[in-house]
Structures are given as structure tokens and as C-alpha cells.
Structure 1
């Protein structure tokens, strides 16, 4: 029997957590009042994968996790505990490695491979480029670092399938060069990935190759095992990763729904601003927008204004986040996504030529860049015969904005017409790729660049959030929630959030106590070799995960410092790191934490205590608002983490059953979480359909009210309560 959906528990597999380890969590998960275990990808991934999204075989349960026997035992044990299982599925890409059997077949047989249609490869651009060499092909060839063994071309520890076994085997450089040129692929220096790849990748990750699931055969091939697991009753729900990367997400989701008419489906879709979810046959999104609403309504508007003003005064930073984002977009599309830009320009030229439009390469380049820069969301959803009204209006607005800095707007209008009304094959090819690239550009420019530069208030620098609009009123959230699907997920932490929920609430505390943060800033060491903007960033990070007893705290902060600086791409980056600049920043945050350990500042304690109260308020909102709460691993209790890989550390199961008896914030959060989860499990109909209202309290922060059929839930949030647990007062609940 499929359990009623009331709450999910997200578990990250790998890193020491396999199916057997997951099974040990089941009694505790069920006891918490959770209905479904929600697993990161279970299918075979690259050897040693730390996350599982680099799938090499979607039709095999990963032996590293316990294989099919291990998953079968886990699923049956979950059923015995009254739990369903949700699996994370990756339809957009697989791993671009020789561990991928389908890809190996393509390398051996080229376009004639039975799997050639599976991969999004531009065969018109020539052989498939493999940018994996540490030096140029010629340099390695002349150094004698290449050879042939059997039917494989060997470079160091890497082996590449040959289209035919050579006879005799060439033993000289000329023979190896000729053999290499006779293949369906070309080995190249890794730097060619910037602008020379011929496959669609995941964002800027060249090691992941796009899949053409719009093709019926590919759709069936990618999902065969998933369908078997659902048909056998071992899986009760599906979470879809990065649907915006697909050629036609709408058609894909409709096809999937037709095959799985009774299975809940959620999409990882990042909605920005007031963007609505497209008309898709799904339960809803995975919930980034819900976490954003919670953080915004818990942010103090007056305090936020002060914090950002003081940041600008301290750092000399000028301008808005939108301006920082626009600059980042220009850099990312020309540098990290240069391959995608060149392909788009080529597709635009082919489409313009087919229309008989006379446009030069530079004119097309300017127009493509302008449209990409002006586009404010992840993507639109145009397809043959499909013209969503909202997307049409959006593209016309984008065209107007894109045309502003150009001398002539006719090329911008031409490309916009291709996207909105295109009918030819060339038009459609340009439109599909444009819609795929906008998401990659926004993700890399917003989340992974501007979000590490515009550092005034990091609580708002989240996936899908807008640091320039970081506050919402209770009325705003009430209106937003009224349109929410009852089974859309509500997340406050995930494997992809930039901070865990409790770390974020310590950052939100800054808006309620800007004086306290100002004291920490003033007391922190000045450093000429670390910019004020970077120190402001690191000070918030240190606050967010501060734990005097954590032996790994300094190492975690030092590791994160390197990642944050390289993502910001100012003084250092991933391609050409400045180790001296990184070391200076790491040493600064080390001295900061060591100083706090010697003498913990009163201001630090105040912000930590306030953050704990805000975290309890967050729990109350998450558990009572429309939608289904998704609990990230360990977040029943306290969970302080920065972005991955820090937030993917395994959670020790041994401490979980004792959380409700713990003292302080950890115990208070666990007790409140369990109480509300049990209430949701006992009254699912009420929570699925009750009216929701959020309002400012009389002398308190917020009041939550839900009503249905004479039953009422009424919760008061008071940050000034006499004791921590009094922060959330459940004054009435449905019986």
C-alpha cells in the first residue's frame, strides 16, 4: 500500500552511506512522522562519485551502493516501516567518460552507433572532441606518451576505443597520428573545453554530456530500469534533476506522466521573482521558492537596509545586484560558456541564411549576446505548436531591453521571431539551444559568480533568490501560498543550497541585530592582502557555522574560502588559481576563528541565539504552510553547513534518536519538528486543503493561521519570548 504523502526525508547516498546504511535510518525516520524516504541518485555513476549525478548506466543500480539486491532490501524494509521511496532521476545528462558503455560504443562506431542518437553531439562540427589531455596532442605524441593496446588508444591511464583494430599496430608517431585522425573522436588539451567542445554539456561541466530524451527511443532507454522499479512497487515517487536542460521539458513531462499516471513527480525547477510554474503534469517543484519566501519574511527590512549600507561603506562597493549580475553574465558567456556562444552564433547564422536575411557574423554575435544578457529567467518553453502566452510577452520585453544598446534592433527582432514563431528546422535548432543556454548562463552568472561578489547579506544569495529584493511581507507570502499546489515540496536545505537552513538563519539574524554584526566587523582584523568584501563574506560564513567544539571548523572554512574565491572569479579562479591570494584569505579566517575560541564575543553569542530562534520560526513556517516539507539529512536537529561539499557530509545515525532529549537549540528544534510532523501525518486532509494566512502579530513577529471545516491551526512566533522553546507557541491545532 502506498503511504499518504505528508513529509519527505532527503538522504545523500555515497560518502560511506549505501543502501544497508540507509536501512538503519528507517525506524527513526518513520518515528519522526515522515512518510517518504527521498534518495539521491541510485543508478551506476562514475567510480568514486561523491554525489551520483554523473551517471554512467541509468539501467543499473550502482553496485557501489549495494546493487539491485541492496536496493530491493531497502525498499521492502521501507514498506515494512510504512515509508515510500522517492528516487532522484537525471534525464538531462550522463557521464562523459569511458566508463559510460553507451559513449564507448559511440566512440567506436561514430554516428552509426546504435547509441549515437542518445547523445547531444554536433557531428556536423567534425569528430567528437575529447578535451582530456594535460598537454597538446602533438606534445604528448612526440614525448612517446601514446600507444595502442589491442583495440584501444592509450594515453597514460586513459583508454579510448578504436573504430577498427589496426593491423599492423603503428609504432611510430606518424602512424599513431594517422590512426588518431581516422577515429570518430579527437583528443585535445583540456583547455579546449572552453570553446571547442562538440557535445552539449551540463552548464560548464564538460564531464557531463547531454542526452536527447526528446527522442522516443532515448526516452525509453534512459528510463527502462526506473519504470521497472515503479512497476514492481519498489519506488513511489520521482524527483527530476535539471529539466530545464532538456530540448522540450513540457513534452518530456507529458510523456513521463502518460507512462506514470499515478506516480508523484517533482521537478527541480528554479522559479525567479513572480515566475509561475509552467502548466506541467507534476506535483510541483522541489521547493527553492518556498525556502526563499521563508527567508524573506523572516528578514527585518530596516536592519537589512542598514547592513547593506554598512557593507557598501566598508567595502566601497557600488551598484545593485542586478548590475553585478549583468557584468557576471557578460564574463561567463564569453569565457566559461564560449563554446555555447559560438554554437548559438553558428545556428543563428544558418537560420538567418535560410530566411534570406543578410546578417554579418558580428551583427549576429551582438544580437545573441544582447538577448542572453537581457534574459532574466532560466528559460522559456517554446516548442513546435507551443507558444505560452507569458513566454511570448517575456521574449518581447527581453527584445526591447536587448535592443537598447545596439544601433539597429532588426537582428534582435529577427532572432526573437525565430524563438517565438520559428517554423523551419533552422529556426527550431536555434530556439532549442537558446532556451537551453539561458539556464546555464543564469545559473553560472547568478549562483556561481555574482552571488559570491555581492556579499552584503548572504542570506539572500540563494538558489533562485534575488539579493536585491530580500524582504517579503506576511501579506506577500499569504498571496504566494494561496496559489501553491498542496504537494509541492518545501525545502529549506538541500544538497544544492548555498547554506543549510540553520546557517542561513544565523545570517538572517544579522538583519535583526545589525549592531551586533557591526561589532564583529569592527573587532575583526584588518588585512591589506584580503579585500574588505572578501572579509565581510567570510565573517558571515564563520558566524553561520560557528561551533567552538567542532574540530573541523577551521578546515571547513578554509576549504570553503577557496571555493568561494574561485567562484567569484576576481582575484583567483578554477582555471588559473592565485594560491597566494587564497592562502591570505584562508589565514585570515583561521585567525578570526582562533580569536573567537580564545574569547567568544558577546555579539557572536547574541547572533547565535537569535539565529536559533529564527530557525525555530523557520521550522514552524515550513511545517505549517501549504506544501509538503522536505527534510534534508540531519535537519530534524541542528544542521550548520555551507555549500557543497560541506553540506553533503554524512550524518551520524547514532545521535539522531537522542535529538528530542537534547538540551538547547538542537533539542528544541527536534521536538518542534517532530510535533508538527506527527500532526501533519495525523491530519493530512487538513494540511492538504486548509486556508492559510500569515500576518504580523501584536507585539510578536508573526502569526500563522490555517482553517478548514471548523478545524483551526494557530501558531504564534515571538523572537522575544522568555525562553527558546517559547519562540513558537502552537495555541491551537486540528484534533
Structure 2
């Protein structure tokens, strides 16, 4: 299929394919972020031959490939993760022990030199006595299986299995029996294995060597002698116990107590997990990318692909989780520079000399420009409220969430904020304060799902306090609470403090957080917060030793790794499912308390991006967005018509009251959930009528989404403790209100209103698509969004895309271009806009124009254009200019004010009245061609200004990209 998709992507103007991770992931992975081997291709995605075929096809069309990479974590619940399996077998003495961020001396003394693994579906004792834990012997190794999970048995403890009933075996075999003696020799060898806590390199090497020899000997013995095989098999069966006889599981219990891991119930172990996770996902363990060896071992394949020209750019997933992100990016750029040049002709033959020469060139470039960027790299970084990119990150930008939220915001009617506050408060019978919710939910996250990380920080800070007589009296509890309060008020995801370097930016954020924490908890001694602030700002006491300074710095670095996940979980994955005033604003990197974006702010952001980050990604939908761009475009329409929204909400509540169930005095769904459901239905409703299986599938999508939304909100149900009864009642409510019987007055009323909203939402979507394509930055298109896409949060937005429909539509558009006037085609597409072909046409025309005029959009200036007239507030317009080349962009908004009757088209003087855009004075008597319609519009002079009439610009198409031709 790729051989058809790649030409299609090239035809619509795509320059680079942006690929999610395709290195070896957990079996059955749906996204590729749960990597088990960084240096092997994922065969479930495709073979190496198929991969090379894809690359050849990309090269054929002059396309590149941006690859998403995962430097922060690995999946640890797959037996295919050889590094993690080695750690579980060899503990702190493993060759890979330092690859993972494990605390081998955690707070809980019972976990010293162990790893807590929370994978059990019930309490350990119950799981054990139900025989869900099974000991097995495979090819010389003993393993423990728990359903699909596989855990190695520590080699030295093999003796416990092999020695059991050994006297019985001796009684059955003569003392001189060679097989018996070999077994006894193996047991002796096991007894002499160096300890798994041994750190001496020679002892570690000895243990690795000897244990493998022992395994081979044991397997040979097992394979050659039936008596020994029977003996081992019977012992394995004995260790696995007998259901109904609790005492029979003592053998396996004792064996497991000696292992390097301790298995526990997944839902109750959050306070004691002693490996750093990716957010709160137990299956994903953080790796220590600050370790040069880890960096080298995880990037071998990446650099090979870069060297061979197969990968032309990198998207780095979650750099905020790294110990030192700037150091990582600098190391990454340095190596990309090196590997891109290693195979070039003209270098000396010796590899080490070649590397030295290339790195000398790189250092010379850095001395001239410290921000030298050798390779196209972007980082998945989320900003909050005016936060800037760290200055020392050698990247081209981010994945585009800042642009997404500012762009989305200009389609929200900001003047209606207070009206929506009232509508929302009256419907849910409560007045919510966004910042209060953020504070409360960040605290909740630290108490429920990330308590181990916070408790570890508390104990670490307590150790630091003991080093000084002025701080040693602080209690562990007070220090831990101070950390929680400061993180709860942290205004950004994380700071980027490095050794002996605290920027003014980071200082300000830390002082804000600590100051607010102080005011929130007046009962706590202020000096506790002052101590925390001093530590975070690296204000070392006088005469502090170097070792003590390193400990302070290490605490700060680890603190920084915690604030990001807590913020993400508390804000994006909790608060955004509770504060539902206008759900389209609840987006990654967004600030829902701000009701939209002023136009001047949008232009200001674009100007700044054109100067400092002209090659950053700008996006409208990604695999992580809470709603697709087209869903948001619909919901935004509600901001324009608050009175109608209020009226319909009131009517829908009354019509659906009979479907609400009261359980223990609580309504199901609660008003806030009902409010979210109505917005979700408005945004996700199919654009064209569906029936039968398709309608049932849509209902299932809504049900699945609402269950996820409620669990994320953690109010009436949650992932850790699902309330099945509540969720089932909610499903019944959704089923009832979406019932297609004639008696369902709600559905009839809803569909009529939704159709109206959808009409305006389509125009919103077209405008935001054009603005993305033409604004400063590199426009990114998520799979399938060339047509209308009404997907919700993952996994809904990761459904397969039918490219055959898109390929066919593009072919039809190309034929129509040849057979019709562009103006006629443009109007016909607008009339039939529901099928989505109009969006594909816009993308196809605008991207190819951009491709043919790259300098205008990649290097050109950006200037906002002023509008005048009755509809001046209904357009966003700007000019992109490079030299004598110029393109004008005009995108309407607030369509409910332009066309009161949904069936009307937003064209002509009757709609746009006397409204105009003002173009630069030097453009007097100039003509422009609309690339979508082929029509020519000319400037005229009006009151000392040079103008273009919007009624002429929008004669046959809802948006305009105007190319200067004279």
C-alpha cells in the first residue's frame, strides 16, 4: 500500500513522511512507544526488505523522513527486552543495571537490591495460591511465568530447586553415577557463584561466565538423562504447589523471596515502586540517557539510518523526562553531524582519524555559533503561558502545540467568556476555578499515582537536611509536604537547571512556586520552604564540600524530572476532563481558563516564530491531541452563539432527565459529565447520515471515549479503581439518548442543531487549515486529516486510515482541474463540502503552491493586514513576502455572523458588504490571483489606503491565498 500512499502524499504537497517509532516494540504494540530493542526494526511494522522499499519510494519522489525516537524509556513487561531481563537476573551487578533509573537502596528496607514490579492483578498471596505464578525450566534456565509475563530466576537460587529431595535421588542412584555427580557438581558451582550485589568487574565477569556454563551443563544433563529430567520436572511441579493447599506454595514463595524482583499488585504499589517510570505507566521504565554508554547503545541504529540518508530528521519524544535535556540534544546534534559525514569521500582511511577530523570541524562551527544545528531535530515540548524554548537546546523547534492553541483560539469569541462562565456554572450547579482544580489534581496525582517518586524526593531532601545543623530539625513529613506543595504550584512543566547554572527564567518559576506554596500552607514553618528553595536554586551553604554540592544538584535534577509528569497527569490527563466550559480549549499545551486568543496575539506569535523558529513544526492535530482539528472547529462555533447553546442545553436536560439514574443520592451521569457529552456529540457526529452497523460503531466510540474521559477525571471512576456500576449506567444513558426511535425527541432536536453547527464548523476548519499551511513554521498533517476527521483522543484517533478513498478523490480533483474553470470547481466543492473533498483540494493547492514558492514561506517576512468595514472582525489576514514575491492570506472566522442561514454560501457582496483588507501602500494598482479559483482581483485606492474588497476575494471559495502577479 505504501507504493500508492507515498506518490499520493507527494502529489498533495507533502515533503517528508513523519513516522511514529518503528524500532522493536512490545508484541502487539499499537503505537511503537513501548520499545524493547532500540537497534532492531519492528517486524510487526515491516521487514527490513519492506523498509528499504519504503525508503526507495521516498527517494524516488524526493521525500525525506522524520522519525519519532524514544530516548526516555523502554518497555519492561516484555521478555524480549534483553537488558531488563538481564537486570532481573543479575540485579545491581548486571551489566545493564546503570541503564535503568533504579533506586537499589530505596526507602523500604525490604526492597534493598530489589526491584518492585507491580504487575499482579490481585494480591501476591492470592495470585500465588491460585497457581497463576508458574515455575518452568527452559533450555537450562529457570523462569517464572505470570500469564504473558516472564521473569528469570536468579542462577544462584537454582540450587534451592535442584537440592530439593536430593536425598531421594541419591537413594535411587549409586554414588558413582556420573549423572548424579554432575548434578552435585552443578549445585556446588552454583554455591560458588559471586553474589549479584558484587560490583568488582572481575567478579561480575566471573559470575556471567560461570552461570552460563552452569546453565549449559544443566541443560545437557537434563537432555541426556531421563532420571535427572524426571527429578527436575517433579521438583518444578512441587514448587508450583497444589490448589487448596496453601502450605504447598511455601517452596515457591521462599524461592521468589530470594529473587531480585518483588512482584506486587499493580494498583496498590505506587508508593513503593523504586524504578523511575514514564509518567505513571508501570510497564515503561526510564533509562538513564545521561549515561554515555546508554546513549551510544540506544542510538546505534538511528545513526546508521542517518548515515545512509534514510532518516532526514528526528522528533524526540518527551525530552522533559531526561536528566539533562540540553546535554542530550547537544550530544545528539554532535553525533548526527559526525555520522552524516563519515562515509563521504575525501576523508582519511582510518576511522578514528576521520572521526577526529569531523569532530574538529564541528567544534570549530560551534565556536563560531553555539547554536549551530547540524541536523533537523525537533523536541516534543509543551509550553505554558508564554514560556520560551530553553536557549541552549540545539533544535529547530517543537511539535507545534503552541501554534495549535493560538490558532484554535482565534476561532473562539473571546467577548462571550463571562456568558459561558454563567452557562457552565448553571448547568453543572457549581462554579469551578480552573487554577484551583489544577492545584488539587496535581496533589491528587502525587498522592495516588506518583507517590513513590515524591516520597523518594522527600527522603532525599531529608538526607540533605541532615548535613547542616540549621536544617536537620526539619521532619521528613514536613519536607515531603513542602515538595508536594511546590510542585502543585509549579507554573510550568519543568525547569532546566544544570551544574552551577540557574537561569533567571528558572529562578523566577521556582520563586513563584515556593511563594504560592508558603501562602497556601501558613501552618507550616516558612523555613522548610526556604530550605527547599535554596536547594532548588543551588544556594549552597558556606564551606560546602564538592560531594555535598553534587548531592544537592542531583536532587534538583531528579526534582525536575518529577515536575513534568505530575503537571502532565494533573493538567492534561485530569483537569482537562473536569473543566469543560468549552471543551475545544482543553488541548495539550492549552490554557482553558483563557477564553480564546486575541487576533493581535496570534499575529505576534507568528512574527516571533518567523524570526526565531521558522522551521519549527506547526500542527492542528497529532496523535496526542484530545480532539481532532475538525472536532474543535465545530465546538468553537458554540462560543459565537451562547444564547442558542443555553437554550438547547436546557431543553436537552429536560428531555433526557428520564434517562438519568440516581445512585446513593448521586445522578448518573453527573451534570459536568452530561455537559461534556453534549459537546462531544456535537464535535464528533458524522458529517453524513449513517445507519445500522456504522451508527452502532459510532455509539461505541462515544461510549469508549466517555469511559476514558471519566476515568481520567478521577471523580466518579478511575483507572486504578474502576466503578463498573457507574460506568454501566452511563453507557445506558448514552444508549437511551442516541436511540433512533421516533419517541426520542432529544435526538431529533440535537441533530437539527448539530447540523447547523457542523455547517459553520466546516468553514472554521478550512480557515485554520489554510492558516497552518501559510503561517511561519513547517505545517504538519496528521494521518487522514486531509478529509473531515472527527476523531477523539487516542485510541480513537489511531484508527486505520482509508487511503484508497483519498487517492481516488485526488485523482478526481486533478481531472476536474483540467475539465472545469477553477472558479466553478471551487464553488461546486463548497456546495458539496460535506464529503470532505474541499479540504483535500485546499491542502493540495496550497501545499503545492508553498512547495513551488518555498522561500516566501520559509524565509519570507510576515506582516498582519488590517481589515476595515462591517465584517472587519471576521477575517484573519496577513502577507508573506520575500524579495519581490508576495502572497496574501485571507481566512474568515465567526461564520454565524456572516451567514445566518446555514444553507447559504459565504460569498459575495451580500455577505461581505463593504469590508476590505488594506495591503501595503506600494501595492497600488496591483493584481493578485487566487490560487484556489484562478480569479484575478485588483487593488484600488480608498481613503489614502490600498485595498482589496473581501466580496471580490470571496466570490467562489471560503478562503483565499492570493499570489501577486503584477
TM over 0.5: yes
Secondary structure at 1:328's aligned position in 2? helix
Tell me the equivalent position of 1:373.
488
Are 1:304 and 1:457, in contact at CA under 8 Å, matched by a contact in 2?
A: no
Q: 1:563 aligns with which of 708, 711, 721?
A: 708
Alpha-carbon distance in 1 for matches of 2:750, 2:7? 39
1:639-650 correspondence runs (5 A): 639-650=789-800
Residue 104 in structure 1 maps to residue 217 in structure 2: no
Alpha-carbon distance in 1 for matches of 2:24, 2:304? 16
| Deviation for aligned residue 1:81 | 1.4
Tell me the equivalent position of 1:95.
75
Q: 1:674 aligns with which of 844, 848, 863?
A: 844
Residue 364 in structure 1 maps to residue 492 in structure 2: no
Bigger Cα displacement from structure 2, 61-70 vs 459-468: 61-70
Bigger Cα displacement from structure 2, 25-34 vs 151-160: 151-160
Alpha-carbon distance in 2 for matches of 1:347, 1:315? 43
| Deviation for aligned residue 1:63 | 0.8
Residue deviations 1:471-491 (CA, integer Å, cap 9, x gap) = 222211121122211110011
1:101-500 correspondence runs (5 A): 101-125=82-106, 126=112, 127-150=114-137, 151-164=142-155, 165-166=158-159, 167-168=162-163, 171-172=238-239, 173-261=249-337, 262-279=374-391, 280-356=393-469, 357-358=471-472, 359-404=474-519, 405-406=521-522, 407-421=524-538, 424-484=549-609, 485-500=613-628
Tell me the equivalent position of 1:693.
863
In 2 relative to 1, CA 683–238 (structure 1 residues): closer, same or farther, beyond 3 Å? same
Secondary structure at 1:621's aligned position in 2? helix
Secondary structure at 1:727's aligned position in 2? coil
1:517-556 correspondence runs (5 A): 517-524=645-652, 525-526=656-657, 527=660, 528-547=667-686, 548-549=689-690, 550-551=694-695, 552-556=697-701
Are 1:44 and 1:63, in contact at CA under 8 Å, matched by a contact in 2?
A: yes
Are 1:474 and 1:694, in contact at CA under 8 Å, matched by a contact in 2?
A: no
Alpha-carbon distance in 2 for matches of 1:155, 1:296? 49
Residue deviations 1:437-475 (CA, integer Å, cap 9, x gap) = 111111111111111111110011000101111322221
Secondary structure at 1:523's aligned position in 2? helix
Secondary structure at 1:193's aligned position in 2? coil
Residue deviations 1:221-257 (CA, integer Å, cap 9, x gap) = 1111111111111111100100000111111111101
Alpha-carbon distance in 2 for matches of 1:347, 1:387? 21
Are 1:695 and 1:703, in contact at CA under 8 Å, matched by a contact in 2?
A: yes
Are 2:464 and 2:552, in contact at CA under 8 Å, matched by a contact in 1?
A: yes
Bigger Cα displacement from structure 2, 576-585 vs 695-704: 695-704
1:574-723 correspondence runs (5 A): 574-594=719-739, 595=744, 601-660=751-810, 661=813, 663-665=832-834, 666-694=836-864, 697-698=867-868, 699=871, 700-718=874-892, 719=895, 720=898, 723=905
Are 1:474 and 1:695, in contact at CA under 8 Å, matched by a contact in 2?
A: no
Are 2:630 and 2:790, in contact at CA under 8 Å, matched by a contact in 1?
A: yes
Residue 731 in structure 1 maps to residue 962 in structure 2: yes
Alpha-carbon distance in 2 for matches of 1:626, 1:269? 18
| Deviation for aligned residue 1:696 | 5.9
Residue deviations 1:417-455 (CA, integer Å, cap 9, x gap) = 222216623212321221111111111111111111111
Alpha-carbon distance in 1 for matches of 2:807, 2:845? 15
Bigger Cα displacement from structure 2, 34-43 vs 355-364: 355-364
Are 1:245 and 1:439, in contact at CA under 8 Å, matched by a contact in 2?
A: yes
Residue deviations 1:203-233 (CA, integer Å, cap 9, x gap) = 1101100010100000011111111111111
In 2 relative to 1, CA 177–587 (structure 1 residues): closer, same or farther, beyond 3 Å? closer
Tell me the equivalent position of 2:942.
none
Tell me the equivalent position of 2:348.
none
Residue 513 in structure 1 maps to residue 630 in structure 2: no
Alpha-carbon distance in 1 for matches of 2:446, 2:965? 53
In 2 relative to 1, CA 377–392 (structure 1 residues): closer, same or farther, beyond 3 Å? same
Are 1:637 and 1:659, in contact at CA under 8 Å, matched by a contact in 2?
A: no
Alpha-carbon distance in 2 for matches of 1:669, 1:433? 46
Gaps of 5+ in 1: 1-20
| Deviation for aligned residue 1:413 | 1.8
Alpha-carbon distance in 1 for matches of 2:504, 2:22? 38
Residue deviations 1:549-605 (CA, integer Å, cap 9, x gap) = 253211100110100111111111112222222223223333333457656643222
Give the structure with higher Rg (CA). 2
Residue deviations 1:135-189 (CA, integer Å, cap 9, x gap) = 3333333444444322212344532101203323663433323322222111122
Are 1:308 and 1:457, in contact at CA under 8 Å, matched by a contact in 2?
A: no
Q: TM-score, normalised by structure 2?
A: 0.72
Secondary structure at 1:225's aligned position in 2? helix
Are 2:621 and 2:782, in contact at CA under 8 Å, matched by a contact in 1?
A: yes
Secondary structure at 2:498's aligned position in 1? coil
Aligned residues between the structures: 715
Are 1:163 and 1:183, in contact at CA under 8 Å, matched by a contact in 2?
A: yes
Secondary structure at 1:395's aligned position in 2? helix
Alpha-carbon distance in 1 for matches of 2:806, 2:132? 52
Are 2:855 and 2:882, in contact at CA under 8 Å, matched by a contact in 1?
A: no
In 2 relative to 1, CA 101–640 (structure 1 residues): closer, same or farther, beyond 3 Å? same
Q: 2:29 aligns with which of 30, 43, 49?
A: 49
Secondary structure at 1:617's aligned position in 2? helix
Are 1:520 and 1:604, in contact at CA under 8 Å, matched by a contact in 2?
A: no
Residue 32 in structure 1 maps to residue 12 in structure 2: yes
Secondary structure at 1:512's aligned position in 2? coil
Alpha-carbon distance in 2 for matches of 1:93, 1:493? 24
Alpha-carbon distance in 1 for matches of 2:485, 2:642? 39
| Deviation for aligned residue 1:520 | 3.1
Secondary structure at 2:537's aligned position in 1? helix
Bigger Cα displacement from structure 2, 671-680 vs 596-605: 596-605
Tell me the equivalent position of 2:178.
none
Tell me the equivalent position of 2:820.
none
Q: TM-score, normalised by structure 1?
A: 0.94
Are 2:491 and 2:509, in contact at CA under 8 Å, matched by a contact in 1?
A: no
Residue 69 in structure 1 maps to residue 49 in structure 2: yes
Bigger Cα displacement from structure 2, 628-637 vs 478-487: 478-487
Alpha-carbon distance in 1 for matches of 2:668, 2:93? 57
Alpha-carbon distance in 1 for matches of 2:331, 2:500? 16
Alpha-carbon distance in 2 for matches of 1:457, 1:415? 37
| Deviation for aligned residue 1:695 | 5.2
